[in-house]
Amino acid sequence: MTLLEMSKDYEAAAVPLRNRLRQLRQQLRETDDPEERWHLKRRIAELTPMLTQMNELAELTARYYERGYYRNGKYTV
């Protein structure tokens, strides 16, 4: 598997996360129950870093061999 193929897999894996976050934010706007709001905010806080990492890895693997591409220092050794 090439890095470009991995990039497409990361992008595909990010779609359900993005959709779930959108759904949770919609539920958060619609509810007035404090306990449910707390749970929704917690779940959003857990999923957001996952989506961020998926997006970063998708970009990194897609552009890894491009000349002049500034790589994210978080993913280099």
pTM for this structure?
0.82
pLDDT in tens, 49-60: 999 999 999 988
pLDDT in tens, 7-65: 999 999 999 999 999 999 999 999 999 999 999 999 999 999 999 999 999 988 888 88
- Three-state DSSP state, 4: helix
